[in-house]
Structure 1
Amino acid sequence: MPTGTVEGGRVALEGRRITGAAPEHAQVIDVSGHWLVPGFVDIHNHGGGGASFSGPLDDVFKAIHTHRVHGTTTLVASTVTDDMDVLVRQAGLLSELTEQGDLAGIHFEGPFISPCRKGAHSEELLRHPDPAEVRKLIDAARGQARMVTLATELPGGLDSVRLLAAHGVIAAVGHTDATYEQTVQAIEAGATVATHLFNAMPVLGHRSPGPIAALLEDERVTVELINDGTHLHPAALELAFRHAGAGRVAFITDAMDAAGIGDGRYMLGPLEVEVSEGVARLVEGGTIAGSTLTQDRAFKRAVTIDRLPVEDVVAALSANPARLLGLHDRVGSLEPGKDADLVLLDADFDLKGVMRKGDWVVGPPLA
């Protein structure tokens, strides 16, 4: 619950909502010995189940379902750098699915990022964040754009941040080669998210603290973290939680097609990726290319390996990203009036049930 862990509590549901009291003649499901937590909210996800959010409609639904059965009941679809015309067309498709409630919006990661920190993005397709080009993507999303990742130090970067803020779209600092001072300027202009903090940006230096220090120190910024054991050393994870505080961390998957499937060859946009032992890397160059993470695995790792308090992990997976998206009145916590989005975990923090808007996606395991 928002107030903390409740032992032996009950959650009453009616239709699609959590209610204050159980309806008469309600079915009772006894989940003693389990954890019941809010459905997960993922604000940065490129795909899963062998499909991506840059693909056709069937692929998009496959990716949505893959993450839904792993507990992500609210999902923002992330695109990857491509030709502007391709991104505009995909924005139209994803906006329709957002309008009908299958997605929670669109995140454009690229093409407005630094070639110095491009990660798994095609360098020849990158461009400066010209506000007119950024506006083109926003318009194509028909009000469903939730976030744009920018290298704000590039020409047009700060003006684009201001444009996004004026349109109610999150400006995220990421895939950036910015200095500490440039990042402070971006935050003052309206940037409020650090795209996968520590990854695809300069390291924290004692003379050149770079973007990491600026993003961690400002209370207006939510920091994304990929907790898969590959993207971050446990000490970096602890540093982020200690310095930003549990209320400013959002766990993300940054998942690509292989999430929920396994090793093999995949495509991330126009680039070929090899997944080996669960780690995705570009075939050419070996750069880490997103993750194969699902949020239930991020939850279990955070509690059992990183030894974070359950309440902090729930906030990072549910309440914090829900608040960031402006959806905290509907999702992100177990409170009367909110959507009946629930995840059931056993005593070992393995997923046993998923409910979305009152319907079991996985389970119910016990009745």
Structure 2
Amino acid sequence: MRFTLQGAHLVDATMDVERGSVVVDGTQIQAVGQDDGAEGLRIDASDSIILPGFIEVHTHGGGGFNLHTTDVEEVRSYRRWIPTTGVTSFLVTVVGTPNALPEAQLQTAVAAIEQAHQNSSEPSAEPIGIFLEGPYISVKKRGAHPPIWLRIPDEKETERILKLTRGYLRLLTIAPELPGAHDMIRRLVEEGVTVSIGHTDSDYEQAREAIQLGITHATHCFNAMRQLEHRDPGPLAAIVQAEQVLGELIGDGVHVHPAMMDMLVRMLGSQRTVVVTDALAGAGMTDATFEFAGQQARVICGAARLEDGTLTGSVLTMDQALRNMLDMTPISLSDASGMLSLNPARSAQVKDRKALLRAGYDADLVIYDRSLQLQATICRGQVCYATDAWRQRLSLDTIKEA
């Protein structure tokens, strides 16, 4: 279907146009800027802000659904739910399993991605790959990951992971101080996987050495890593100094104090900050008890905690993360778009087709009203979420033909 969203405020990481139009033809953006007068459905968006769809590179679930699962249909349910939060693409995050590689979960992730490709006409967010958060992480900085999940990097396991993920592995977190970590980093980089430093007790020198091996991403900065100190700068100083490394920030104001959120954004800048939710199945649910890979978690005061009180993944959603970043840090809407769309697209290796309002790119769009409330989400040209008002506006019987 071809349609034009007319007269909207258009914003992405590279532009901020007060009034323009977006022409969508099938799954792609056909034109951006002035209305080209082409035939097709025309929709008045003059009261709206249009941004590229959000890309989630670090989420464990939401809406009651887990991504670390052996049920392909659970991932399918998640990708149909997540557009309600403005997300149009995501990585399927897998964590550890007791005393073994999470083989069944990785195979499920592959099957879920391939199912989505085979049913590309189904309205849903696109799973663009796999994120393996561990199991090669520090016992001391494991966070909510039980010790029984953790493993030491091993050459044979590296090859096994690459075989299991069948080319869909996009991101992997590793603590580079572990024995064998350097060999694993080299091998993964060789295969085109984005390697992330995280859940690490590495010092400054160890982090610098690992970054020189090819690490280009950092998992939830400040959280589950040695802290920044004036005589012991730790991994965060090495991350900030390495211009090629993008750093995640959980944008809920709980995992990282707003003042530290502000500081990280100032240090990394708008081109290197990646906003994530690190959300669990309880995201989008106001009062819930749910599971994080076999552990019971609860929503308490806007955060997810295990039964012993340990802070685990968040219950943040990306539409709220956008508002949080604008409220808590000194950035523009264009900067925020880069942090929620373009920068994660770089780490997920889809920046050549997603995350910008540009002709030839996937028609992944989020529509906000002027008060920054989400109104609609379009995934590859299909409306996957809309408020009642926008459902009416987008329905065929109310759209005028050109």
The TM-score, its normalising length taken from structure 1, stands at 0.96
For 1:206 and 1:234, the matched residues in 2 are separated by: 21
Is the Cα–Cα contact under 8 Å of residues 365 and 378 in structure 2 kept in the other structure? yes
After TM superposition, give the deviation of residue 135 of structure 1 in Å. Answer: 2.5
After TM superposition, give the deviation of residue 249 of structure 1 in Å. Answer: 0.9
What SS does the corresponding residue of 1:134 show, helix, strand or coil?
A: helix
5+ unaligned residues in a row in structure 1: which ranges?
Answer: none
After TM superposition, give the deviation of residue 86 of structure 1 in Å. Answer: 6.0
Is the Cα–Cα contact under 8 Å of residues 34 and 345 in structure 1 kept in the other structure? yes
Which residue of 1 is the match for residue 236 of structure 2?
212
Matches within 5 A, 1:93-242: 93-99=108-114, 100-101=116-117, 102-242=126-266
Letter aligned with residue 69 of structure 1: T
Is the Cα–Cα contact under 8 Å of residues 120 and 271 in structure 1 kept in the other structure? no
Which residue of 1 is the match for residue 103 of structure 2?
88
Which residue of 1 is the match for residue 29 of structure 2?
18
Matches within 5 A, 1:272-291: 272-284=296-308, 286-291=309-314
Identity within the alignment, %: 36
For 1:194 and 1:126, the matched residues in 2 are separated by: 19
After TM superposition, give the deviation of residue 268 of structure 1 in Å. Answer: 0.8
Letter aligned with residue 7 of structure 1: E
Q: Residue by residue, what CA displacement relative to the aligned partner does 1:163-216 show, whole Å, maximum 9, x if unpaired?
A: 110111111100000000000011011111110011000110111000011111
Q: Residue by residue, what CA displacement relative to the aligned partner does 1:208-240 show, whole Å, maximum 9, x if unpaired?
A: 000011111110100011101101112211222
**Larger of the two Rg values belongs to structure:** 2
After TM superposition, give the deviation of residue 23 of structure 1 in Å. Answer: 7.3
Is the Cα–Cα contact under 8 Å of residues 76 and 112 in structure 2 kept in the other structure? no
What SS does the corresponding residue of 2:299 show, helix, strand or coil?
A: strand
Structure ranking higher in strand proportion: 2
Q: Residue by residue, what CA displacement relative to the aligned partner does 1:132-183 show, whole Å, maximum 9, x if unpaired?
A: 2233222111110111111110101111111110111111100000000000
For 2:252 and 2:355, the matched residues in 1 are separated by: 22
Residue in structure 1 matching 2:75, options 40, 56, 60: 60
Letter aligned with residue 82 of structure 1: T
The TM-score, its normalising length taken from structure 2, stands at 0.87
Which residue of 2 is the match for residue 360 of structure 1?
383
For 2:101 and 2:157, the matched residues in 1 are separated by: 13
Letter aligned with residue 290 of structure 1: G
Report the CA distance shift for 1:291/1:337 in structure 2 as closer, same or farther (over 3 A). same
For 2:50 and 2:272, the matched residues in 1 are separated by: 23
Is the Cα–Cα contact under 8 Å of residues 263 and 278 in structure 1 kept in the other structure? no
For 1:220 and 1:24, the matched residues in 2 are separated by: 41
5+ unaligned residues in a row in structure 2: which ranges?
Answer: 1-11, 118-125, 395-402
After TM superposition, give the deviation of residue 89 of structure 1 in Å. Answer: 1.5
Which residue of 2 is the match for residue 329 of structure 1?
352
Q: CA RMSD in A?
A: 1.6
Is the Cα–Cα contact under 8 Å of residues 66 and 260 in structure 1 kept in the other structure? no
After TM superposition, give the deviation of residue 276 of structure 1 in Å. Answer: 1.4
Which residue of 2 is the match for residue 341 of structure 1?
364
Letter aligned with residue 59 of structure 1: E
For 1:110 and 1:262, the matched residues in 2 are separated by: 29
After TM superposition, give the deviation of residue 51 of structure 1 in Å. Answer: 1.5
For 2:159 and 2:298, the matched residues in 1 are separated by: 34
What SS does the corresponding residue of 1:348 show, helix, strand or coil?
A: coil
Matches within 5 A, 1:14-53: 14-20=25-31, 22=36, 24-53=38-67
Is the Cα–Cα contact under 8 Å of residues 131 and 169 in structure 2 kept in the other structure? yes
Q: Aligned residue pairs: how many? A: 366
For 1:86 and 1:179, the matched residues in 2 are separated by: 27
